[in-house]
Amino acid sequence: MTTWLGLNAGHDDRSTADAVAVSLYETLLFHAQLVCVHEVEGRHAMSFRLTEEPSENTVSTLIERGYGVAVHNGSLQTLAGPEELTRGALRAALAHRDRREGRALRFPGQRALRGRYGVSDILAFSAIEEVLPHGTKSVDARGDLQPTFVNGRLVLDCG
């Protein structure tokens, strides 16, 4: 069963939100399949796609660290933490669930993408579903690829 975890600490700065999301992935939420950062009400919130619900311990830890937390698995399970942050957390979780918006920092197939790859390989071996502009033949994946959700698809824009 897929669960979406939305977290909001009210980060003003995109790079701080990115660093925190990756740090949480590397320490507490390492089983996440997809990690995104979303712009929510002029701030940056995070979302994580999980194969199971986070444990009560994990949720408690996040609340203790000051996050607004939303756990959603088709029907809303949990809203917790500071009330002014939970709305943004829920918005991030729903944007990820609906694949409406969000910049993916970690996604399936990402680790294998090092060096220059043909677009067909990127589409075949990673969660990326479209590469823009159309007609792009190859992508230098040495940098940190950050595709975004656009109209339900994970899109890498190289333009």
pLDDT band at 3 (very low <50, low <70, confident <90, very high): very high
For 46-56, what is the mean pLDDT?
95
Tell the burial category of 28 from Cβ atoms under 10 Å away from its Cβ (0-12, 13-18, 19+). Answer: middle
Q: How far apart are CA 91 and CA 144, in angstroms?
A: 25
pLDDT band at 34 (very low <50, low <70, confident <90, very high): very high
Quick check: 26 and 97 in contact, CB under 8 A?
no
Domain extents in the chain: 3-106, 110-157
> What confidence score (pLDDT) does residue 114 get?
81
Tokens representing 29 are 């939420």
Q: How far apart are CA 104 and CA 18, in angstroms?
A: 10
What's the chain's average pLDDT? 94
Q: How far apart are CA 3 and CA 24, in angstroms?
A: 16
pLDDT digits (tens, 9 = 90+) for 55-108: 999 999 999 999 999 999 988 779 999 999 999 999 999 999 999 999 999 999
